[in-house]
Structure 1
Amino acid sequence: MSNDVAVHPDSFHAKSTLTSGGKTVSLYRLQALTEAGIDLTKLPFSLRILLENLLRHEDGSSVTADDIRFLANWDAKAEPSREIAYMPARVLMQDFTGVPAIVDLAAMRDAMRALGGDPEKINPLQPAELVIDHSVQVDEFGTTNAYDLNAALEFQRNRERYAFLKWGQTAFNNFSAVPPGMGICHQVNLEYLARVVFTTQPDANGEVVAYPDTLVGTDSHTTMVNGLGVLGWGVGGIEAEAAMLGQPVSMLVPQVVGFKLTGKLKEGTTATDLVLTVTEALRKLGVVGKFVEFYGPGITELPLADRATIANMAPEYGATCGIFPVDRETLNYLRLTGRTDDQIALVEAYYREQGLFHTPDAPEAVYSATLSLDLATVEPSVAGPKRPQDRVLLSQAATSFAQQLPALLGPNANKQAARQMVRWEGEGGHASAHGDLTASLGSPAPAVSGDLVPVATLTPGPAAIHVEAPVTSIQGRFGVDPEPYLSDGSIVIAAITSCTNTSNPYVMMAAGLLAKKAVEKGLRTPPWVKSSLAPGSRVVTDYYVRAGLMPYLDALRFQVVGYGCTTCIGNSGPLPTDVSKAIEDHNLVAVSVLSGNRNFEGRISAEVRANYLMSPPLVVAYALAGHISHNFDTDPLGTDKTGAPIYLKDIWPSQAEVNEAVSSSIDAAMFRHQYSTVSDGDQNWQHLKFPEGDTYGWEPDSTYIRKAPYFDGMPATPAPVEDITGARVLAVLGDSVTTDHISPAGSIKRNGPAGKYLEDHGVKPADFNSYGSRRGNHEVMVRGTFANVRLKNKLAPGTEGGVTRLLPEGTGMSIYDASVAYAERGTPLAILAGKEYGSGSSRDWAAKGPRLLGIKFVIAESYERIHRSNLVGMGILPLQFQPGESVESHLLTGEETFTLGENPGDLKAMLDSGFANGKSLLVKTTAPDGTTNEFPVMVRIDTPQEILYYQHGGILQYVLRQLAAK
């Protein structure tokens, strides 16, 4: 479908043509604004892309000439206040967030039919691309058949979901899915899906319009493609669905922070060290809701892969996006990754014509704020144990862990037995303790197959697939009881995972080269370290094989476990049973090290309390060390055959070695080969049977896919906004409560509400799968909302997990069970929270789950950008304490009842007027003893479009009514 509108005022006479490769395309020239007397030379590149978007979509209503003029004359210092309508060229999804989006579209088709409309009107109106990458779990590791077993288990667990997505491919126009086992969403986007310049299909007159590739994605790390100069960011699944259905993304014109890079990274540092440094600096500055744009002479020193690593972590430093301009390096990367010569030529011609192509002599833009970094000052770093912005110098990691340990022990610290810390010293079979203890261990073979239950062969077609998981016992595999060797700080997970780093061949090659040097010197990893390699695309395996590095990674038990987002998303799989038992019996603070971007509490593994982000070569190094307290400067990793100590510096590859491996082992043919068949999938995908028809044939007994309930009984016109009175608080939460705390994620516990639901529906605990895989079933997801094992609800002091007290009785129970009880009483619910409420991934279920629990409003000190928007999109009212005020300042306990508004109808009148009299709303509380209190809060509905969404009960209800009315 053309992105060019039928009626276009073209107030600035911007439409023109461009010839590239012998073909002529139309475009909307930014130079037309210069000709109209507006100087764009100081406008940041990212805003110029938004400006082109407005020029192309001018229609006199949603986009006016005044909107264009306002953005072109952007005031760098002004607080965001002007709303614009942004129309992305496409929508990107991964399967965890994509499945519920397609479920919602399928439910909308049913609702459209119920309203008397045509179900086939419900279609993505622009390309919607989904990559199935979040469903593979690390069940098997460290063996030659790890990949095959994990892939088989993935397919067994997710047949219903995959059949549903195949139905979506045939039922919906403009929707495509990349099958499982092909790679991670953002790496596939970077290497294959991104166009940089988009073109429409020829219209009736043969006209083709060219424009910048822009997107929104249902994963916050959509920003990774900013490294390629493509503007895009993560939104909630709800907002993405609206974008798919042709609704503009309403946004305030942002402030733009300029980050100047100078110098060059020094020997021994990596792009990961750089991005952790950048993340820390931007978090301290405060860039939530802002664009970050990188500039300066240092960007020419950064390979495209390094830029993508920095852009990937925009959610971690809090920005909407972290973008680099298109330049020569962009073209080089497009060439390397197998894009066609015609496409590359069009990218260069288009960006030069639009004044968007960056050259070293380009004038510096004016920014809202700036900061700078000399790349030569970057030091080797890790981040943890709980947040990606908590950077620690590698040399200080051991000291930092010791300082953090008391807080990590949790409520059961008194259970911990005194333990002797033992460090595994490598193949020589020697383990030395901090004390007099020594032990002799048999050295594990590099690729032990382990004790495995036979795996059935996957067969095409609908036949059930029976796959048993392996017996994961260290004692069984290696004859070693891990308990005497585990202590606080022992590393039990070491994962090279996540698009952040697996997309970067430089850090990946560094990991492979380090593994080679380690193996050649006789080093091995201790058997209780669950090590894994999950590349972001199959190209990674190709270049590892060509470089001759795969045997060495295999020798350290970093076998490929799958091509997808594994440990970083919480799909780390179970720990070996004896390791798990030792952690539980002694309340140990076990550690994971991973090359990911997220390390929030409870995310990586429910049994691992400390999680550290780092570069892939450091993941390998820590896997060899086996303990987070290892000091790489002073502690050897082991000894060679002569007894001489081996230090990290002895096996760390030089930049010259890494560059040589990259240049000699990677070429465009690899990318063309792998991506030529990326949509085909394996035999199981190709032969998978699925229902047909314009509406989905819901399976009444399915525990994976259920019809979304948001449109049940929905009238053609919305009811007036109702007052909220007598509300009860479901949870009182502190600062930095993330969407990982709110949204169901990771494994499903048998004794929780979701586990009980599944067992009641005949699902065995071994087949529970993860919350992510069951995101298409709202019954499971609502029961897992606020069920994170590390959640601390102040309404239930001294506890961790999804528990609360039912009021006024004060009875302790699960948050879900309490919500059911409140629903039976007709009691509306609320959440009280601190700063940065909803930080983390852009998870739609962090808003959908609370909506289904009956939560009507949240009062927090501040919100993460995407989560606030998602709350509005689900009809939940986000309220914000006045500056300096909080739960504590108002002496709130959560035992009060809450009423919104000084008088009945205040909220409705405020919304109906478009906040003509301001956004302050009075909150009235009544304590159990009858004491009353009043305080004002700010209504965080930030745009006129959001008012409409809230008045309709949510964004999907609004869109459906608009389409039905046509």
Structure 2
Amino acid sequence: LDIIVAQEPAAIPDNIARYKLLRWGEKNLSNVRIAPPQQGGMADSTLASLCSIVQIIPAADGGNDMVVPETVLGSQRHIPSLSHKGILGWQTDTLEIESLMLGNPLSFPIPPLVGVKVTGKPRKGVGFTDLALTIMLLLQRHEAKGKIVEFFGSGLDAFSAADRAAIAQMAHHHEGVLTTLFPIDATTITHLRQTKTPPHTVALVEAYAKAQGLWREGWPHESAQDPTYNTVIELGLDTIRAVVGYGGMAGTVIQLSEAASYFTKNNPPQTAEGDPLATIRHGDVLLAQLGSETTPPHPTEMIIAGLVAREARKNGLKLKPWVRATMPPLPTRLAAYMKKAGLLDDLDALGFRQSAAAAKSQEPLPFAAPIQKALQENKLTLCSVGTDDDVFDGPLQEACKIHVLASPATVIVYAIAGNVAQDVFLKPIGLNAEGKPINIRDLWPGVADVLALTEDTPPHLLTESRPDDIFRAQPDWQAITAPTSTDALWKELAPVVIRPPLLESFAPEQPKKENIHNARILAILENDVQAGWIQADLFHPPAIAPTGNYEQMLQGALQNAALKNAMVEDPAAVGVTKHHPSGLTMPYAEAISRYQREKTPMVLVAGHNLGGGRGQEWGAKTLRYLGVRAVIAQSYDPAFRHNLVRVGILPLQLKSTLSLADLNLTGTETLNLIGIPDLGAPPGEIMVTLEGHEDIERYMLHCRLDTPEEHAMFNQGSLWATTARSLIPVAV
């Protein structure tokens, strides 16, 4: 288990209780490594430092050691980027990782496989962003969400290790791809050598890949290696042009040469030239951002952007006065490299200055009343441009109807032009000091200019951490001490971290499962309820800070404004439900407390796709802590359903012939769930009886304990009970 603490060293005093828990685990648990707080956080540290593509498993009986390919699971969203080294890795939640740590097997249905065959070479002037946006569009069109995507073909020679990592990350984050996989080839070996991987490890990786058929041969032999996939996407690199993402990553990919006409066609101006609104023009760029807090820009493209800024500075070009330029802090190595080359000074001179605080502290522009009215009536469309969809929220972004995703250099060009309705591809974007028109080609660096800056250090190394960097002991971290005994540890960590009831002692015998009688409905929720709406709101102000104190987390449970409860007549009501049989509307916490005093089981009812988004493990834990015994939904997010089983909640699903509307639920009903003790091997069914004022209705529901392992875990009570009882024979 590798744990990366993403905060900076200055965060240690504010997180001392959590860090004491980590230090205790580091000293008392085997196979645990912790990367201490370090400048730059997760995005700046290389996850590739954690794994070596292949792993040697020592023989236990004196025989031959075994070499196996490495697989990585992690809760951090950058995990899929490891595929640039030929490693199969995907993001999962902390409950999945906890389950694996406790010795449980990983089991899930194998998703469909999508192959992307890459051929040809990129045209001159086509950069990484153009390539990435085109690939994301292809993945959208072929509905790759939830699938595994593998790249193959001779065109992969044009992809650097940094390109592969960024494409894998974008495919996961923006298109919902489970994970991607790039082959092990000469690019992989070059990358390992450049990152100072020990020579014997490099040799082992190459020899193993070739022996196991995992090595990508170069052209012309590659045509014989075409694997079989559920779907194959053809990508000819020579067909790609310079593009922008109109409407962000989820929008439409438009060639840069057609971006202005596309904007005007889809957003026709509503005002004349002489109109008072001409002070702010239709299509004006209010916000231009390089990078984001979560995703650093591509290093090569940032160097190109720095060179574009240098030429713009030489020609006396400036950003339009209404453009707010922001640039969150770059990865430490990239920032140091660009500073040494003077490129940060060039960006700074234009207005792109590294500052997280400045980027967050957006002040609204002093829009005149006619402009405010035009914005409200959608007669005026203002825009933002950036290298990522993660643009800082704020008044400026709220005023922007369209977000255009582009390469860092193109972002700068748009910021100088000041308007996306302007044809920046063909027409001048400004005038130099002598009044000469300056076009985009006058600013764009040649290949030789970029190579002159990067000949000593390949750009992808500018965001890499050496393996000995990330786990290097730091004095501040080593100074943190924790008690040896667990009892003393819990006392010292309170109240920030307290022992949750799910970890309390378990009886040696498996509990007898019983039917659920006389249950009440806690809430009737609509379709597409996010897991994060159930838990305390960690992501939107006024947010509750993540904590190890489950009691504090429960204080904000079910309080999200997006959570609509059909049992409550007022659609604007937040954080309330109806208690029955009293019929009183009250806060969830009060209703739950009453049900618990009355020893009344609680059931949650929801529509389609329950539990998507972030916070799936805490959403499931929250329902368990609140006392919910079962959930009835029309469908589930797969991970959330699995987490309900892990925490001991029974997931039930309406049959396809039955909708939530067909049940005509009001919340006044009493529910009985019959057949729980008799559940056999999956698939199983449970009968629900709905007792109203005058009659009783009965329906058969799918029991979503989908595997024998899930069935056994539910019978034990939870993931933790299963593990605890499995250890009893070992202890005896």
TM range (shorter): 0.7 to 0.9
Deviation per CA, 1:799-833: give whole Å up to 9, x if none: 67963433457766665565555545534131413
Residue aligning to 1:351: 209
CA deviation digits over 1:276-304, x for unaligned, max 9? 44444434544455422222233232222
**By how many angstroms is 1:306 displaced?**
1.7
Query: Is 1:943 matched with 2:712?
Result: no
Question: Residue in 2 aligned with 1:698?
Answer: 490
Structure 2 contact 189–206 (Cα < 8 Å) conserved: yes
The Cα of 1:358 is off from its aligned counterpart by 1.6
Please list the CA deviations of residues 233-255 of structure 1 after superposition, one character each: whole Å capped at 9, or x if unmatched. 12221110121233221233443
C-alpha distance in structure 2 between counterparts of 1:174 and 1:686, whole Å: 18
Q: CA deviation at 1:341?
A: 1.6
Closer, same or farther: CA 670–264 of 1 in aligned 2, 3 Å: closer
Secondary structure of 2:702's partner? strand
Give the match for residue 305 of structure 1: 162
Return the offset for 1:331. 0.9
Q: Deviation string for 1:664-698 (max 9, x for gaps)?
A: 44389978986544333665445445444456623
Report if the CA contact (8 A) 1:539-1:674 is conserved. Answer: no
Residue 745 of structure 1 and its aligned partner are, at CA, apart by 5.5
Aligned partner of residue 907 in structure 1, secondary structure:
coil
How far off is 1:404 after superposition? 11
- Cα 1:526–1:130 change in 2 (3 A) is farther
Q: State whether structure 2 residue 558 is matched by structure 1 residue 780.
A: no
Question: Which residue is 1:494 aligned to?
Answer: 289
Deviation string for 1:339-392 (max 9, x for gaps)?
12221111001111112112142421122232333332465233756xx54445
Specify the SS of the correspondent of 2:225: coil
Query: Is 1:914 aligned with 2:681?
Result: yes
Summarize the alignment of residues 823-842 of structure 1 with structure 2, pairs less than 5 Å apart: 823-825=596-598, 826-835=600-609, 837-841=610-614
**Distance (Å, rounded) in 1 between the aligned partners of 2:293 and 2:126:** 19
1:952 aligns with 716
> For the structure 1 residues 389 and 952, does the alpha-carbon distance in structure 2 shift closer, same or farther, using more than 3 Å as the test?
farther
Give per-residue Cα distances to partners, 1:891-931, cap 9 Å, x unaligned.
65664647464xx2x13322xx112xx3444444467x767
Residue 619 (structure 1) shift: 5.2
Distance 1:685 1:799, change over 3 A: farther
Matched residue, 1:21 = none
Contact in 1 for aligned 2:49/2:465 (Cα 8 Å): no
Measure, in 2, the Cα distance between the counterparts of 1:777 and 1:655: 55
* Residues 90-101 of structure 1 aligned to structure 2 (within 5 Å): none
What SS does the aligned partner of 2:619 have? helix
Query: Which residues of 2 match residues 67-82 of structure 1 at below 5 A?
Result: none
2:617 aligned to which of 844, 855, 860: 844
For 2:125 and 2:534, how far apart are their aligned partners in 1?
Answer: 39
SS state at 1:866 partner: helix
> What displacement does 1:776 show?
2.4
Cα deviation per residue 1:459-498 (whole Å; 9 max; x = unaligned)? xxxxxxxxxxxxxxxxxxxxxxxxxx89999756835136
- The TM-score, its normalising length taken from structure 2, stands at 0.80
Query: 1:756-775 maps to which residues of 2 (within 5 A)?
Result: 771=545, 774-775=546-547
Q: Would you say the 8 A contact 2:427–2:439 is kept in 1? A: yes
**Runs of 5+ unmatched residues, structure 1:** 1-127, 137-150, 406-419, 422-431, 440-484, 563-570, 755-770
Query: Partner amino acid for 2:230?
Result: S
User: In the superposition, relative to structure 1, how do residues 638 and 909 fare at CA in structure 2: closer, same or farther (>3 Å)?
Assistant: farther
AA in 2 matched with 1:946: E
Whether the 8 Å CA contact 1:163–1:688 is kept in 2: the answer is yes
Corresponding position: 1:181 with 2:38: yes
The 8 Å contact of residues 50 and 467 in structure 2, kept in 1 or not, is answered as no
Assess, with a 3 A threshold, how the Cα gap between structure 1 residues 637 and 671 changes in structure 2: closer, same or farther: closer
Where in structure 2 are the equivalents of 1:284-295 lying within 5 Å? 284-287=141-144, 289-295=146-152
The answer on whether the counterparts of 2:328 and 2:355 sit within 8 Å (CA) in structure 1 is: yes
Aligned to 1:250: 107
Letter in 1 for 2:299: P
Q: CA RMSD in A?
A: 4.6
Structure-2 residue corresponding to 1:734? 527
Q: Over residues 211-247 of structure 1, what are the superposed CA-to-partner deviations in whole Å (9 max), with x where a residue is unaligned?
A: 2111211234421112221112122211101212332
Map 1:702-717; keep pairs closer than 5 Å. Answer: 702=494, 704-712=496-504, 714-717=506-509
Distance 2:593 2:446 in 1: 60
Structure-1 residue corresponding to 2:647: 874
**Runs of 5+ in structure 2 lacking a partner?**
none
Q: Distance in 2 between matches of 1:487 and 1:877?
A: 54
Alpha-carbon distance, 1:559 to partner: 4.4
**Would the alpha carbon gap of residues 288 and 382 (structure 1) be closer, same or farther in structure 2, given more than 3 Å must change?**
closer
Which amino acid counterpart does residue 720 of structure 2 have in structure 1? Answer: L
1:678-689 to 2 correspondences below 5 Å: 678-680=470-472, 684-689=476-481
Report the count of equivalent residues.
Answer: 707
- Rounded Cα–Cα distance in structure 2 between residues aligned with 1:678 and 1:435: 58
Alignment of 1:569-718 (within 5 A): 575-576=361-362, 595-596=387-388, 615-617=407-409, 620=412, 632=424, 639-642=431-434, 651-653=443-445, 657-658=449-450, 661-666=453-458, 675-680=467-472, 684-693=476-485, 697-699=489-491, 702=494, 704-712=496-504, 714-718=506-510
* Residue correspondence of structure 1 range 461-540 to structure 2 within 5 A: 491=286, 494=289, 496-497=291-292, 501-502=296-297, 504-520=298-314, 521-524=316-319, 529=324, 531-535=326-330, 537-540=331-334
Corresponding residue to 2:79 among 222, 232, 249:
222
Partners of 1:581 and 1:791 in 2: CA distance? 34
Instruction: Indicate how the Cα distance of structure 1 residues 576 and 310 shifts in structure 2: closer, same or farther if over 3 A, else same.
Output: closer
Partner of 1:331: 189
Once the two structures are superposed, residues 253-277 of structure 1 have per-residue CA deviations (whole angstroms, 9 ceiling, x without a partner) of 4432222233344455544444444
| Cα distance change of structure 1 residues 547 and 938 upon mapping to structure 2, 3 Å threshold | farther
- Secondary structure of the 2:33 match is strand
Q: Is contact 1:255–1:368 with CA below 8 Å preserved after alignment?
A: yes
Task: Report the Cα distance in structure 2 between the residues aligned to 1:220 and 1:545, rounded to whole angstroms.
Answer: 29
Q: Which of 390, 393, 401 pairs up with 2:254?
A: 393
Q: 2:415 & 2:584 partners in 1: Cα distance? A: 45
Q: Does 1:132 align with 2:19?
A: no
1:334 shift after superposition? 1.3
- Structure 2: distance between partners of 1:356 and 1:487: 53
Query: Quick one: which amino acid aligns to residue 607 of structure 2?
Result: A
Q: State whether structure 2 residue 51 is matched by structure 1 residue 194.
A: yes
Structure 2 matches for 1:786-865, cutoff 5 A? 786-788=558-560, 790=562, 803-807=575-579, 819-820=592-593, 822-825=595-598, 826-835=600-609, 837-841=610-614, 843-865=616-638
Q: Give the secondary-structure state (helix, strand or coil) at the position aligned to 1:367.
A: coil
Show CA shifts across 1:617-669 (max 9, x none).
45555666778888755897665434566666654556665555444443899
- 1:940 is aligned with what amino acid? R
Distance 1:745 1:234 in 2: 22
With over 3 angstroms needed to count, the CA separation of the structure-2 counterparts of 1:271 and 1:637, relative to structure 1, is: same
Question: Amino acid of the residue matched to residue 956 of structure 1?
Answer: W
Distance of 1:402 and 1:723 partners within structure 2: 63
Query: Relative to structure 2, which stretch is displaced further, 315-324 or 283-292?
Result: 283-292
Whether the aligned pair in 2 keeps the contact of 1:337 and 1:671 (CA below 8 Å) is no
Q: Check whether the contact 2:319–2:417 (CA below 8 A) recurs between aligned residues.
A: no
Per-residue deviation, 1:328? 1.1
Query: 2: CA distance between counterparts of 1:499 and 1:844?
Result: 21
CA contact (8 A) 1:192 1:337 kept: no
Q: Which amino acid aligns with 1:873?
A: R
